[in-house]
Homo-oligomer: A and B are copies of this chain.
Amino acid sequence: MTNNTATKTGLVVSAHSADFVWRAGGAIALHTSRGYNMHVVCLSFGERGESAKLWRKGEMTEENVKAVRKEEAMAAADVLGASIEFFDMGDYPLRADKDSLFRLADVYRRVQPHFVLSHSLHDPYNYDHPLATHLAQEARIIAQAEGYHPGEPIIGAPPVYCFEPHQPEQCNWKPDVLLDITSVWEKKYQAIQCMAGQEHLWEYYTRVALQRGLQAKRNIGITAAKTLTHAEGFQSIFPRVTEDLS
């Protein structure tokens, strides 16, 4: 149950190939800068549901769209310093069978993550998102079981965080963690700019980062962080274990 690698690791499970950028790009860049190995799994390319601009160009095929989306995602991961892989499970609707579940469980076993990021547990605008989270959760449970691939090193109990959905209140998403991403904001914005097909979201998520930044300042203790400007919000699924409450 131990992690023999010296380096800490984090795992991001993204329903579509751009979600990890808008919603967790700061967390990825920040932990990379702190020495973590960050790994992203994109379950689909968002080829049907999140590539409107590409489809409107006309003369597109699903294969073309997927290729463009893959390239964008790889470029963004590269900027953020993360490794990335694609499950190509299809979107709108995303559907997971046992094979996908085991494939993801195997990623957990390989990566041995110290924390996991995925989508909110509810999203009335996007059914693929919660499905991704539940897949991430169930794969984590399987990777913890001694009886799955007996003999292989199991994983511990990494905390799982839900990153911010597009309309947070409508998804019953409530952040209990505000991550200070000020030091890596420039990198996140650079990654955002890799998403040429969704330019209308660039400023939206810049504003999200600024709002969460100001909220983080409001929630900081006695030693005020005057320089904090950008943040990302996360909702924990599990209680955290600690030895200090300040």
Residues of A within 8 A of B (CB): 1-3, 8, 10, 27, 30-31, 34, 36, 47-49, 51-52, 55-56, 58, 60, 62, 65, 92-93, 95, 98, 101, 112, 114-115, 117, 124-127, 134, 137-138, 141-142, 145-148, 150-151, 155-159, 161, 166-170, 172-180, 203-204, 207-208, 210-211, 214-216, 218-225, 228, 231, 233-234, 236-246
Contact = CB atoms under 8 A, between A and B. Distances in A.
Nearest to A24: B245
Contacts of A225: 241
Nearest to A164: B169
A199 to B, nearest CB: 13
Kindly name the residue among A145, A156, A175, A239 whose own CB sees the greatest number of chain B CB atoms within 10 A. A239
B178 A48 contact: no
A96 to B, nearest CB: 10
A170 B17 CA distance: 30
Contacts of A228: 241
A148 B48 contact: yes
Given A47-B147, A179-B242, 11 more contacts: A48-B148, A49-B148, A55-B150, A115-B246, A127-B141, A157-B221, A159-B246, A178-B240, A179-B245, A204-B211, A219-B241
A142 B93 contact: yes
A62 B147 contact: yes
A245 B31 contact: yes
